[in-house]
Amino acid sequence: MKPTALKTLLLCAGLATSSFALAAATLVQDVRVFDGKAVHERRSVLFDGATILDADFRGTPPQGARIVSGAGRTLLPGLIDAHTHTFRWQELPVLFGVTTQVDMFTDVRLMKQAKQEMAQGSRHDHADLFSAGTLVTAPNGHGTQFGVPIPTITGPEQAQAFVDARIAEGSDFIKIVMGGGYGMQSISLVTARAVIDAAHLRGKLAVVHIGNEGDARAVLEAGADGLVHLFPASSADAEGLARLARSKGAFVIPTFTVLESMAGWRGDDLLANASLAGLLGKDAQAPLKARYGNKERAELLAAPKAVTAALVRAGVPVLAGTDAGNPGTQYGVSMHRELKALVDAGLTPAQALAAATSVPAQVFKLGKRGRIEQGYKADLLLVEGNPAADILATRRIVEVWKDGDSANGLRDSQRQRVAKAAQETRPGGGGKALALPPDGRISQFSTQRLASPIGMGWSASTDSFAGGKSTVTLTPGQALADGQVPLAIDAKVAPGLPFAWAGLAFMPGTQPMQSVDFSTVKAVRFKVRGDGKAYQMIAMSQGVQIPGAKAFTAGPEWTEVTVPLRELKGIDPATLTMLGFNAGPQPGDYRFEIVDVRLLTQ
């Protein structure tokens, strides 16, 4: 008897002993298979429950198995996003074929919950999560700006204890932030090296966030296992950096999706694809519409493209990661942009697919996933066409399986919810631009009330919801010559949070943090005077967690300030939820007055 025939008989006999297994078995028949490394033009893949039983099944389909036609289609391992920040929208990744996320910083409680669900085998609706937990950063460093207190490190002598604390919390690897920017602080190279050594002593990978070529070289020399970003720049010594990474045995996650956001680039609109956009509600679409860069500067993508191409030539592992959780990105769907960007940067489509499947599974030691092989997880993605020839085929999703469970029911339900919500008329929203007052003025302060002709209007705003202790008092003053009443803001910003604040907030919707369409608004203009200190005007938009901000100074005389909305990085005016005028983050007492706040359309 031929070995393949014997294997078929034994397999069928094994299935026949379990009615549960028989009912759960699925056979994707006569399908092109990308197994994580190579393409096989015609195979049949059998899986039962959470496990692939046979990656090259031959013979008669087992009785009772569900048969899925693979004609004209390609079966891939479930995609692995090698760089996310998984704070919300956990239901989205699986809908787009992303069945595993490698998280670079999230809430420890969320990380522990995900681990528990994975251990119990109950995480079928959400992507599996492997996480760094809390990142390694300096006081007032990158990662501290979200209003949630996190531990920080100040010197190399703290490295081992800091790493051990992260491992005790459940961190799968150690993620380090090297470099400041945007006024943030950075750990020293000596401290970074100590943390890398401490992680290696415990058998953990140490990966590093960098923002420029110099820091990239420094941390590679210090022994970093991988770079979790490349850097926006018009030029770089691509070949030299690739040689260094190769010599150190390091890997690189370019994260083109977020780099394109920094460069203000909008060339590949995922929302123009109806099959993708139909799975994203208005709030979930908002981050994709936002950008960090206010003006398109495509030249900033030249260096990361050149470096990526050099890395591939040098044989350095390149991983697909989106940095989802930032403006310009969204969980799950952005992986399909990242794959295309990798191909544009010099990877073949098959190399890009490997960068999103087998390569991250191997680099991060994620166990039996990222491949279509016997005994591996039945996390699978079926698409129309051949993505190994045309990477855009990954967007033509037929079916997703997570732990052997089909996600098509989830996908259908999500489409129905999104379609229903799109049909509903929402106060102040619904895709229609907000009707502004004729003179644009939204401040109608008086001694009786802080009124506005639109929305919920004005109220005090502090960091108390994030555990802060800052306080603020709002006091209307005496009317000016033009009859307008200024509002005095007396703020006491308390220590304890890296980005503490207290000030004044304007809610344009009829409910707290309800989004409205400010797309016709070009700028916000207001008059201020005060104690001579620096303040910030901020804005929030739906689905974006990091506010856009613009500094202004309140001097002793009334001064008119105009803030173009385009200068508030990462904010989508079409889904604006809040405007704020804040003191902070430095602790202390602040006082300024504001009057005549207007929305300008020209």
Hunting for tokens 């919801």 — which residue is that?
Answer: 465
Give the strand pairing for 471-476 and 457-462: unpaired
**Is 436 domain-assigned?**
no
600 Cβ contact partners less than 8 Å away, ≥ 6 residues apart: 440, 521, 522, 523, 524, 525, 562
* Amino acid at residue number 213: E
**Is 401 domain-assigned?**
no
**Is 348 domain-assigned?**
yes
List % helix, strand, coil for the chain (3-state, nearest 5). Answer: 30, 25, 45
Q: According to the 3-state scheme, what is the secondary structure of 290-316?
A: CCCCCCCCHHHHHHHHHHHHHHHHHCC
Please say whether the beta carbons of 533 and 590 come within 8 A.
Answer: yes
Looking from the CA of 474 toward its CB, the CA atoms found within 13 Å total: 22
Nearest to 178 by CA among 153, 146, 160, 201: 153
- Cα distance between residue 208 and residue 551, in whole Å: 30
- Cα distance between residue 99 and residue 357, in whole Å: 10
Strands (E), 468-533: 471-476, 487-493, 502-507, 523-530
- Cα distance between residue 114 and residue 559, in whole Å: 51
Give the strand pairing for 444-445 and 502-507: unpaired
Other Cβ atoms closer than 10 A to 300: 19
Please say whether the beta carbons of 206 and 196 come within 8 A.
Answer: yes
Last residue of a domain, one of 388, 421, 454: 421
Tell me 444's DSSP state. Answer: E
**Is 188 domain-assigned?**
yes
pLDDT of residue 129: 97
SS3 82: strand
First CA to last CA across the chain, in angstroms? 82
Number of domains in the chain: 2
Same domain, 262 and 138: yes
Same domain, 87 and 223: yes
Nearest to 205 by CA among 189, 184, 227: 227
Same domain, 216 and 309: yes
Same domain, 585 and 491: yes
Last residue of a domain, one of 352, 387, 421: 421
**Is 261 domain-assigned?**
yes
Please say whether the beta carbons of 514 and 576 come within 8 A.
Answer: no
Same domain, 340 and 448: no
* Amino acid at residue number 427: P
| CATH code (residue 553) | 2.60.120.430
pLDDT of residue 23: 43
Please say whether the beta carbons of 309 and 352 come within 8 A.
Answer: no
**Is 379 domain-assigned?**
no
- Cα distance between residue 117 and residue 133, in whole Å: 16
CA distances from residue 568 to 27, 270, 386, 549, 550 in whole angstroms, order as listed: 51, 23, 41, 5, 7
**Consecutive 10-residue averages of pLDDT for the chain (602 residues):** 37 38 77 98 96 95 94 98 93 98 94 94 94 93 77 96 97 92 82 98 98 96 98 97 98 98 93 95 88 88 98 98 94 98 98 98 98 98 98 98 96 94 57 77 92 92 84 94 94 83 92 86 96 94 80 95 88 88 92 96 87
Same domain, 356 and 493: no
Same domain, 366 and 474: no
- Cα distance between residue 215 and residue 179, in whole Å: 7
383 Cβ contact partners less than 8 Å away, ≥ 6 residues apart: 73, 74, 76, 97, 393, 394, 395, 396, 397, 398
Same domain, 223 and 360: yes
SS3 596: strand
Same domain, 211 and 322: yes
Looking from the CA of 107 toward its CB, the CA atoms found within 13 Å total: 10
Q: Domain containing 293: what range?
A: 77-373+417-421
* Two structure tokens written together for 515: 């989004």
* Two structure tokens written together for 494: 């308390």
**Is 435 domain-assigned?**
no
Please say whether the beta carbons of 259 and 293 come within 8 A.
Answer: no
- Cα distance between residue 485 and residue 505, in whole Å: 17
CA distances from residue 389 to 121, 278, 332, 385, 393 in whole angstroms, order as listed: 35, 26, 22, 9, 9
Hunting for tokens 């002709």 — which residue is that?
Answer: 453
Same domain, 468 and 568: yes
Looking from the CA of 495 toward its CB, the CA atoms found within 13 Å total: 1
**Is 68 domain-assigned?**
no
| CATH code (residue 174) | 3.20.20.140
CA distances from residue 343 to 264, 337, 356, 373 in whole angstroms, order as listed: 20, 10, 12, 25
